[in-house]
Amino acid sequence: MTVHPGDTMTASVTRVSTGVWTIAINDGSQHFSIQEAYSGPLTSAEWIEEAPSVGGRTATLAHYGSTVFDPGTVNGGAPGLTAANRGVMVQHRKQVSTPSSEDSDADGFAVAYGNLAPGPPTS
């Protein structure tokens, strides 16, 4: 799947049956889907901007600018995001990725490269 700057991506993780999940990614013109086994506790959902792993090591996070995760859903509804859900990324003792506060309907947030939080998306 080829991804370009400015692409609007959607992703979903859906339980097909006990222990079997479908991961799907779509950018409007391309679609990727795979089924994976997972038997964890089913107690959390995450939306993450992170550095890739290259050769078994975490690579330096690319200067990605900013992006928005909105809307996010969990089990078909809004996840009820709060400030306690936020986390920053630190590499080499430097903060390299910072999330915004949650949007007004608590189902989305923005994230920006660097140590300054962007404003939340409009709902």
Q: What is the pLDDT of residues 95-121, one digit of tens each?
A: 999 999 999 999 999 999 999 999 999
Task: Tell me how far apart the alpha carbons of residues 71 and 119 are, in angstroms, rounded to a whole number.
Answer: 15
Cβ-Cβ contacts under 8 Å for 103 (sequence gap 6 or more): 70, 81, 109, 120, 121, 122, 123
Name the DSSP letter for residue 54: E
Name the DSSP letter for residue 29: S
**Structural domains of the chain sorted by starting position, each given as residue range(s) with its CATH number in brackets:** 1-41 (no CATH), 49-123 (2.60.120.700)
Tell me the per-residue pLDDT of 27-66, one tens digit each, with 9 for 90 and over.
989 999 999 999 888 888 888 888 889 999 999 999 999 9
